Structure 1
Amino acid sequence: MTEIDILRHDQVLAVVRANRIPDTSELCRALVAGGIRTVELTFTTPDVVQHISGAVAAATQVGAILGVGTVMTDDQARAAIDAGARFLVTPGIRPGVAKVATDRAVPVFLGAFTPTEVAMAVDLGATAVKIFPARTLGPGHLSDLHGPYPDVELVPSGGINEHNAHAYLEAGALAVCAGTSVVPPASVEAGAWSDITDRAKAFVAELRSRQSS
């Protein structure tokens, strides 16, 4: 399965924002144990490239797809890909990042909010479009965007938890981004891996229960 196939199947991407990650391999293992295989570290974490390069082999071994978000420049994009990142995510339209990713055949999720920005992301070769901040207009915004763009894969990010994630999927999201509800910075920085596994399990279980009801 490709990265996008796995994300489509699992419907959840964990976004990790922390000042310190004591063991990225264990973080990935904890999330996979909880049912979330796609893991996005971000350039807001110091030394994120080293975290990727030190954990990518172990992450792959446990079935995690490890990528990098908040990618702002083409230099960051190249460094992340060279370190082994399997996908890139941007907070907004970043043509340089998109070019590096598409040239290297690495999936890139460009950030957008408006219909014009979605069109720009598609033109730049985005594998999927991250809708951020999703909480501003809620799931209805995704439904509206899918009117003119029915075939564009949308991934909402910002303000999503186990209680509202299903509404975004029903609105047509490829997957949802799970942030602090699953990977609170304090738990990551403390290496509280069992807590993160429990949070991931709860998120996934709530999502599946709503889908089957």
Structure 2
Amino acid sequence: MSLEQLFTDRVVAVVRAPEIPDVRALCAALAAGGIRTVELTFTTPDVLRHLREAAGAEGISLGVGTVLDDDDARAAIDAGARFLVTPGLRPAVATAAVAAGIPFLMGAFTPSEVLVAHESGAAAVKVFPAGRLGPGYLTDLHGPYPDVRLVPSGGVSAGNAAEYLAAGAAAVTAGTGVVPPQLVAAADWAGITERAAAFVAAMG
């Protein structure tokens, strides 16, 4: 498995919602707007059930984030996750993912953490919370680490996504600005498609 679809489209939708009435419809709505990589999170109730329900969704690369330990990693993989994402350095998750042949994004913030995450075998390093230092921080990180794929998360919006990409981001995250919990709960799939399309257009 790989994350080439993410790196081709340059965007992943991160879904943090207390309720997902129809996960397959949500994925289809995002794909219709041009976002084909979707990250559910362990902060969502019944996330493993949602993963199983949408695991075979056509054209969608579906993964799970906020993975904190190897038990969660293995459970997510068994449920059909095609990639894993951690919020910070989680060596046990890296070990489980590598053993299963599943790509993962490891969270990091400081230059030292970025290097550790990269050396753990991560397909990319999730720079979180990216909004604290802005797009210029990615440029700074690429000085010593020109070949490390960086994916900023936290504080990325349609208004600044293009700046992060110009600063060298391999991809960006689209969060609640594209997938507001209230629209998900209301099954407003047309609204989510519209927001996804607007985000993709703003990326340039």
With structure 1 as the length reference, what TM-score do the two structures score?
0.94
Mapped partners of 2:43, 2:179: distance in 1 = 15
3-state SS of 1:66 partner: strand
Residue aligning to 1:88: 84
Mapped partners of 2:142, 2:89: distance in 1 = 19
Counting helix residues as a fraction of each chain, which structure ranks higher? 1
Q: Which runs of 5+ in 2 are unaligned?
A: none
Q: Identify which of 180, 183, 188 aligns with 2:179.
A: 183
Alignment of 1:36-55 (within 5 A): 36-55=35-54
Shift of 1:105: 0.9
Residues 27-76 of structure 1: CA deviation (Å, up to 9, x unaligned): 0000000000000000000110110011111x2x2x01000000001000
Shift of 1:3: 3.8
Answering whether residue 73 of structure 2 is matched by residue 74 of structure 1, we say no
Answering whether residue 170 of structure 2 is matched by residue 174 of structure 1, we say yes
Mapped partners of 2:48, 2:3: distance in 1 = 22
Amino acid of the structure 2 residue aligned with 1:17: R
Mapped partners of 1:184, 1:160: distance in 2 = 14
Residues 130-182 of structure 1: CA deviation (Å, up to 9, x unaligned): 00001000001101111111000000001111110000001100000000110
3-state SS of 1:6 partner: helix
Residue aligning to 1:134: 130
| Cα-Cα RMSD | 0.8
Contact 1:3–1:65, Cα closer than 8 Å, also in 2: no
Mapped partners of 2:125, 2:9: distance in 1 = 17
Mapped partners of 1:198, 1:144: distance in 2 = 34
Answering whether residue 159 of structure 2 is matched by residue 160 of structure 1, we say no
Mapped partners of 1:102, 1:3: distance in 2 = 12
Amino acid of the structure 1 residue aligned with 2:43: T
3-state SS of 2:125 partner: strand
| Identity within the alignment, % | 63
Contact 1:37–1:64, Cα closer than 8 Å, also in 2: yes
Answering whether residue 149 of structure 2 is matched by residue 150 of structure 1, we say no
Answering whether residue 102 of structure 2 is matched by residue 103 of structure 1, we say no
Q: Which runs of 5+ in 1 are unaligned?
A: 209-213
**Residues paired across the two proteins, number:** 204
Mapped partners of 2:2, 2:10: distance in 1 = 12
With structure 2 as the length reference, what TM-score do the two structures score?
0.98
Amino acid of the structure 2 residue aligned with 1:51: H
3-state SS of 2:3 partner: helix
Mapped partners of 1:35, 1:3: distance in 2 = 19
